[in-house]
Amino acid sequence: DAVELPIKFFPQDAGCYHCQILLKSSRDFRVYVIKCVVNTDDAEAEIEFLTPAYQAVIQNIPINNVSSQDWKLEAVLEGQGFYGPPSINVGLGEIALYPLMFKPIAEC
């Protein structure tokens, strides 16, 4: 015995949205709590580093938190010669800079 309850949700922006649905009859009350987390579309970016071998260059990458909660982000770096912190915290409504360093050990 199941009844479908179709719900349509049209978020304006990225963020965390909360909703409560109250269903009641003469014999029963039920409250359903719904939480939707909306992310922005995937974005692609390209950074070109130019530095002599054995010399480091750092590019600060801005991360803008427009959601309704603090973020703790983990970084996974792939590729030889790239370095950066393994995680970064970005507070609600803040912009944090992720320092990505490239230090080549040879000409490449």
- Quick check: pTM over 0.75? no
Residues 6+ apart with CB under 8 A from 92: 65, 67, 68, 69, 70
Mind listing the pLDDT tens digit for each residue in 71-101? 999 999 988 889 999 999 999 989 999 999 9
| Segments in the chain below pLDDT 70 | 42-43
CA atoms of 80 and 39, how far apart (whole Å): 30
